């Protein structure tokens, strides 16, 4: 559960970094990216990625840092496939990821 | 070297990459597979498939050690070396072995192993002679059929070039963050460049770590000089100081009975109440100079030389302890080997390591292919390919398609070779190299797109053959593994099914691509030029 | 390298064009010697550097050996890249020989070999 939370945070972070780029934003939302939106995506991205790293290291130390590097690799791979082959799925996958994030967050806090 | 730093680094990146890319592919391919060497070895020994992981593994260790020592006393009281390997999370087997007397001219003594089922403490029939996953592990730094030292120097040189390629790659990839998710498909060598960039960037921390730490594992062969400068007796003295547990002692001939293992185990458990014992070695049992080494499993700690104890076998006193109070420098060095070997990795991290290793193979493969494509594109329409280009294309096909083919053949050979064959393990390895040779011959005959297509179909064939042959020659198959939750075995079989499917996809893609090429040949040169435009 | 200035390029030249096919023998030879400088010159330089550091570092014997050996790869990589970053091959060889020589002399003096 904890690992799922760490991963979904990392995935969300890279998704935000991707959407902070003009070409990717245009492909997904069919609109032009404004500066304000770009800054909010970047900020969200940095906050979530740092959160993912901190959670990984706090829960398992050096081992957690290694896991975090693995999460980064997996996130970038999945997002690369999404943005290059199935851009129409980005919205759905993002919502799915957000729900996984919230669910795992709750279950970690409760148990 | 060139007009500016950037151009020099671009040139350097290409050339250090190209000079060793095929050897590097072999190293990365074999290394990535060997992350699962224990699991693969388990698949390779169907005779052990009835052995399952026990509950209360730690609680049974004392009794297992005592039993093994008792057996060893009965079978080989005079042997110079006894080894006991206890069950661990990745390997449910329990074995003890003893060294046979060395034949003249033998570098290392041969060991006779006995396998036990830990749940019932009874011997099981010895599994078929095979190297299993350890073949890939050794292959990736000792290579094969050549002198080990030469092989390691070659691997070190290749790894140095890899590290330089990584560093220069980062320097020259100016748009590293802008292009992180970009992959433009169907654009010829542009697409290969994108694939090369993506596979490099997505696991960049891993690539740099694994290459650097890989060099560190062999560093004392490459740079023994600091140790030789600082210590009068050189490397061996340094090793003895760093790892007193492994220090060699002169064998005495004075007989002395071995103390009860309980005396020793009591001390171990007092110092480390939750000790998880991994191996238990006894040297010169029943002599005055006997030594008992106890190595604990380190779990998820980023250490290679973890907690270990050295006792005198004749008196039971603690002689040395390792793993406490490591200095920062020692910890720094030790953690590097730990990171490279990845023994600490649990299933999740292990799969992530594997994924990153595959990305590394993809990075090297796309680099090789991109180079060949670029050279081809630079040829004028009537010009023939030169020797250099032909060599690159042949090596590409032989290595990139040959290694998976050889691997699948190796797995099939394990199931099909007669069990009683002499030097069976070496013959299995021979099959690997013969299969690779076959693919190389195919590549020498031609390295056109059609040949790649043929290679893809052949690879698909052998990959699908692995679970098929497994089902025919053993008691399980991938479906039964899934139903009985034998995940290790299921993942191996299913992995080959996925690999086979990917090769079919590749074959199909190459067929459409080669169709485009053959229609092009009938076009006039003017149309061709317009297309290439 | 001076022969390279013939290839001095305007900035519109696309990035991914590799060296011209009709390269001179002297170019090939200089490339070969540059690799020799990087591989062997770099190796000797690094060996002497880390041996000297191992003696000079204010750590106990084992720690200084472990630390310098662990950092050896880093030093070697830096030297290797430097060899290819410098324009003049002559300068590369002179620098390597000089620095290695000086370090070796210092090391010998400390160790009492001289």
Confidence of residue B184 (pLDDT cuts 50, 70, 90): confident
Q: Could you tell me if residue B36 is inside a domain?
A: yes
Confidence of residue B284 (pLDDT cuts 50, 70, 90): confident
Print the domain residue range for C38: 26-111
Count CB-CB contacts under 10 A for residue C17.
Answer: 10
B215, pLDDT greater than 60? yes
- For A30-58, what is the mean pLDDT? 92
- Across the interface, of C34, C53, C55, the residue whose CB is closest to B1 is C34
Closest-CA residue of chain A to B354: A70
Integer Cα distance of B246 and C79 in angstroms? 35
Q: Is the dihedral of CA B396, B401, B403, B406 positive or negative?
A: negative
Reduced 3-state DSSP string for chain A: CHHHHHHHHHHHHHHHHHHCCHHHHHHHHCCCCCHHHHHHHHHHHHHHHHHHHHHHHHHHHHHHHHHHHHHHHHHHHHHHHHHHHCHHHHHHHHHHHHHHHHHHHHHHHHC
* pLDDT at site B120: 77
Confidence of residue B520 (pLDDT cuts 50, 70, 90): low
pLDDT tens digits for range B413-456: 999 999 888 899 999 999 999 999 999 999 999 988 899 999 99
Share of chain B above pLDDT 90, in %: 48
Q: How far is CA B216 from each of CA B213, B240, B332, B344, C8, rounded to the nearest angstrom?
A: 5, 19, 11, 18, 40
Q: In 3-state terms, what secondary structure has residue B291?
A: strand
* pLDDT at site B77: 85
Answer yes or no: do B317 and B367 share one domain.
no
Q: How distant is the alpha carbon of residue B496 from its chain centre?
A: 18
Tell if the CB–CB gap between B227 and C69 is shorter than 8 Å.
yes
Integer Cα distance of B98 and B76 in angstroms? 7
* pLDDT at site B108: 75
Q: Could you tell me if residue B143 is inside a domain?
A: no
Lowest mean pLDDT among B28-37, B328-337, B495-504: B328-337
DSSP letters of B443-460? HHH--SHHHHHHHHHHHH
Are B179 and B197 within 8 A, CB to CB? Answer: yes
C37, pLDDT greater than 50? yes
Which range, A19-28, B109-118, B144-153, B517-526, is most confident?
Answer: B144-153
Q: Could you tell me if residue C87 is inside a domain?
A: yes
Integer Cα distance of B315 and B292 in angstroms? 11
* pLDDT at site B286: 85
Q: Could you tell me if residue B426 is inside a domain?
A: yes
Are B345 and B357 within 8 A, CB to CB? Answer: no
C21, pLDDT greater than 60? no
- For C41-65, what is the mean pLDDT? 94
- Total structural domains in chain C? 1
Judged by a CB distance cut-off of 8 A, whether residue A17 touches chain B is yes
Q: Could you tell me if residue C104 is inside a domain?
A: yes
* pLDDT at site C12: 47
- For B203-231, what is the mean pLDDT? 94
Integer Cα distance of C103 and B116 in angstroms? 58
For residue C104, what are its two tokens?
């070796």
Q: Could you tell me if residue C52 is inside a domain?
A: yes
Answer yes or no: do B24 and B83 share one domain.
no
Tell if the CB–CB gap between B374 and C18 is shorter than 8 Å.
yes
* pLDDT at site B531: 46
Answer yes or no: do B523 and B417 share one domain.
yes
For residue B475, what are its two tokens?
């008691």
Q: Could you tell me if residue B298 is inside a domain?
A: yes
* pLDDT at site B516: 66
Q: Could you tell me if residue C1 is inside a domain?
A: no
Answer yes or no: do B372 and B401 share one domain.
no
Closest-CA residue of chain C to B212: C73
Print the domain residue range for B56: 46-129+243-341
* pLDDT at site B146: 92
Q: How far is C79 from chain B (nearest CA, A)?
A: 10
Q: Could you tell me if residue B151 is inside a domain?
A: no
Answer yes or no: do B60 and B208 share one domain.
no
Burial of residue B74 (number of CB atoms within 10 Å: 0-12, 13-18, 19+): exposed
- Which positions in chain A touch B339 (Cβ < 8 Å)? 66
Q: Could you tell me if residue C62 is inside a domain?
A: yes
- For A25-41, what is the mean pLDDT? 89
- Across the interface, of B300, B355, B359, the residue whose CB is closest to A60 is B300
Answer yes or no: do B488 and B397 share one domain.
yes
Q: Could you tell me if residue C73 is inside a domain?
A: yes
Q: Could you tell me if residue C20 is inside a domain?
A: no
Tell if the CB–CB gap between B216 and C73 is shorter than 8 Å.
yes
C81, pLDDT greater than 90? yes
Q: Could you tell me if residue B137 is inside a domain?
A: no
Q: Could you tell me if residue B506 is inside a domain?
A: yes
Question: H or E element: which one contains B488?
Answer: helix B487-521
Answer yes or no: do B26 and B52 share one domain.
no
Answer yes or no: do B471 and B403 share one domain.
yes
Answer yes or no: do B33 and B117 share one domain.
no
- Total structural domains in chain B? 3
For residue B193, what are its two tokens?
């460049």
Integer Cα distance of B346 and B352 in angstroms? 10
* pLDDT at site C2: 39
Answer yes or no: do B263 and B335 share one domain.
yes
Residue B305 carries which DSSP code? S
More confident residue, B120 or B207: B207
Answer yes or no: do B336 and B370 share one domain.
no
Complex ipTM: 0.92
Judged by a CB distance cut-off of 8 A, whether residue B254 touches chain A is no
- Which positions in chain B touch A83 (Cβ < 8 Å)? 181-183
* pLDDT at site A66: 92
Question: H or E element: which one contains B475?
Answer: none
- For C16-23, what is the mean pLDDT? 54
Q: Could you tell me if residue B135 is inside a domain?
A: no
- Best mutation target, B352, B362, B509, to test chain A (most A CBs within 10 A): B352
C100, pLDDT greater than 50? yes
Answer yes or no: do B228 and B360 share one domain.
yes
Integer Cα distance of B82 and B111 in angstroms? 9
- Scan for tokens 């698909």, then name that residue: B460
pLDDT tens digits for range B448-502: 889 999 999 999 999 999 999 999 998 888 899 888 888 889 999 999 999 999 9
Judged by a CB distance cut-off of 8 A, whether residue B328 touches chain A is no
Integer Cα distance of B411 and B486 in angstroms? 18
B neighbour chains, 3+ CB pairs within 8 Å: A, C
B517, pLDDT greater than 80? no
Judged by a CB distance cut-off of 8 A, whether residue B230 touches chain C is yes
Note the pTM of the prediction, 2 decimals.
0.90
- For B19-25, what is the mean pLDDT? 95
């Amino acid at each position: 559960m904890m690992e799922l939370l760490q991963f979904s945070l990392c995935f969300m972070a890279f998704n935000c970094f991707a959407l902070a780029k003009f070409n990717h934003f245009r492909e997904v939302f069919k609109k032009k990216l404004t500066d304000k939106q770009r800054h909010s995506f970047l900020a969200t991205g940095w906050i979530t990625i740092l959160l993912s790293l901190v959670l990984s290291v706090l829960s398992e130390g050096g081992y957690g840092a290694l896991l975090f590097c693995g999460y980064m690799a997996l996130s970038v791979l999945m997002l690369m496939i999404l943005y290059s082959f199935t851009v129409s799925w980005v919205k759905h996958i993002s919502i799915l990821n957000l729900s996984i994030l919230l669910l795992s967050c709750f279950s970690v806090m409760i148990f | 070297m060139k007009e500016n730093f950037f151009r020099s680094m671009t040139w350097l990146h290409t050339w250090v990459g190209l000079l060793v890319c095929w050897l590097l592919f072999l190293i990365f391919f074999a290394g990535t597979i060997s992350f699962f060497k224990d699991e693969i070895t388990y698949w390779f020994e169907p005779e052990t498939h009835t052995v399952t992981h026990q509950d209360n593994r730690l609680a049974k260790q004392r009794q297992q050690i005592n039993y093994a020592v008792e057996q060893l006393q009965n079978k080989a009281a005079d042997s110079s070396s006894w080894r006991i390997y206890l069950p661990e999370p990745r390997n449910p087997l329990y074995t003890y072995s003893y060294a046979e007397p060395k034949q003249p001219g033998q570098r290392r003594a041969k060991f006779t192993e006995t396998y036990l089922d830990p749940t019932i403490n009874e011997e099981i029939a010895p599994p078929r002679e095979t190297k299993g996953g350890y073949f890939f592990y050794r292959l990736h730094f000792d290579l094969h059929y050549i002198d080990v030292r030469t092989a390691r120097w070659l691997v070190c040189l290749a790894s140095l070039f890899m590290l330089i390629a990584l560093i220069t790659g980062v320097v020259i990839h100016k748009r590293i963050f802008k292009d992180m998710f970009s992959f433009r498909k169907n654009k010829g060598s542009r697409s290969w460049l994108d694939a090369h960039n993506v596979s490099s960037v997505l696991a960049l921390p891993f690539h740099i770590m694994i290459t650097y730490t890989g060099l560190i594992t062999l560093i004392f062969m490459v740079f023994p000089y600091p140790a030789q400068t600082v210590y009068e007796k050189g490397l061996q003295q340094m090793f003895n100081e760093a790892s007193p547990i492994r220090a060699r002692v002169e064998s005495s001939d004075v007989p002395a009975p071995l103390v009860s293992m309980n005396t020793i185990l009591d001390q171990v458990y007092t110092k480390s109440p939750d000790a998880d014992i991994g191996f238990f070695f006894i040297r010169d049992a029943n002599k005055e100079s006997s030594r008992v080494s106890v190595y604990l499993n380190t779990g998820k700690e980023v250490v290679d030389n973890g907690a270990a104890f050295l006792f005198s076998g004749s008196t039971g006193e603690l002689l040395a302890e390792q793993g406490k109070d490591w200095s920062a420098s020692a910890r720094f060095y030790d953690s590097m080997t730990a990171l490279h070997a990845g023994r600490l990795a649990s299933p999740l991290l292990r799969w992530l390591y594997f994924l990153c290793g595959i990305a590394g193979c993809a990075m090297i493969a796309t680099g090789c292919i991109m180079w060949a494509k670029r050279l081809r594109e630079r040829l004028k329409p009537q010009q023939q390919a030169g020797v250099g280009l032909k060599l690159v294309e042949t090596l590409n096909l032989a290595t990139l398609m040959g290694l998976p083919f050889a691997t699948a053949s190796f797995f099939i050979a394990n199931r099909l070779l007669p069990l009683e064959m002499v030097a069976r393990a070496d013959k299995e390895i021979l099959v690997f190299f013969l299969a690779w040779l076959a693919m190389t011959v195919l590549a020498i005959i031609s390295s056109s797109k059609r040949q790649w297509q043929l290679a893809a179909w052949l690879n698909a064939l052998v990959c699908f053959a692995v679970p098929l042959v497994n089902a025919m020659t053993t008691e399980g198959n991938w479906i039964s593994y899934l139903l009985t939750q034998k995940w290790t075995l299921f993942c191996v079989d299913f992995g080959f099914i996925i690999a086979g499917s990917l090769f079919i996809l590749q074959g199909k893609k190459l067929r459409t691509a080669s169709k485009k090429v053959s229609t092009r040949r009938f076009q006039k040169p003017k149309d061709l030029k317009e297309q290439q435009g | 390298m001076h022969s390279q200035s013939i290839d001095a390029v305007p900035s519109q030249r696309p990035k991914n064009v590799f060296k011209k096919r009709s390269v001179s023998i002297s170019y090939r030879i200089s490339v070969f010697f540059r690799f020799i400088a990087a591989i062997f010159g770099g190796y000797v330089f690094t060996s002497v550097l880390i041996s000297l550091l191992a003696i000079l570092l204010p750590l106990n014997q084992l720690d200084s050996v472990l630390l310098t050996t662990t950092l050896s790869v880093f030093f070697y990589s830096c030297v290797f890249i430097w060899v290819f970053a410098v324009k003049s091959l002559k300068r590369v060889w002179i620098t390597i020989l000089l620095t290695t020589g000086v370090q070796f002399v210092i090391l010998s003096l400390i160790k009492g070999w001289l």
